Amino acid sequence: MAEIINLNKARKARAKAANQAKAVENRARFGRTKVQKQADGEQYVRIGKLLDESKREEAGREDD
């Protein structure tokens, strides 16, 4: 015979597990210090500057 379970408790347990997984993801994404955020920002600026400097100019094309 199958085990009898309370469906309401099972639903809540599943939702709790999903919320905990999302919390782990958010901690990894947003749980950084101010210094880490500034370092990432500076890195994005440096990369963007490098890409802008390495663009080729096409002959005969004028950008106004």
pLDDT in tens, 25-49: 998 888 888 999 899 999 999 999 9
The per-residue pLDDT for 62 is 61
Tell me the H-state helices in the chain.
7-30, 34-53
The per-residue pLDDT for 23 is 95
Instruction: Give the distance from CA 39 to its chain's centroid.
Output: 16
pLDDT at 64 exceeding the cut of 70: no
The per-residue pLDDT for 33 is 87
Could you count the other beta carbons within 10 Å of the beta carbon of residue 32?
A: 13
Alpha-carbon gap, residue 35 to 41, rounded angstroms: 10
pLDDT at 5 exceeding the cut of 80: yes
Find where tokens 């880490």 sit.
Answer: 36
| Beta-carbon-side half-sphere exposure of residue 49 (alpha carbons within 13 Å) | 6
0.85 exceeded by the pTM?
no
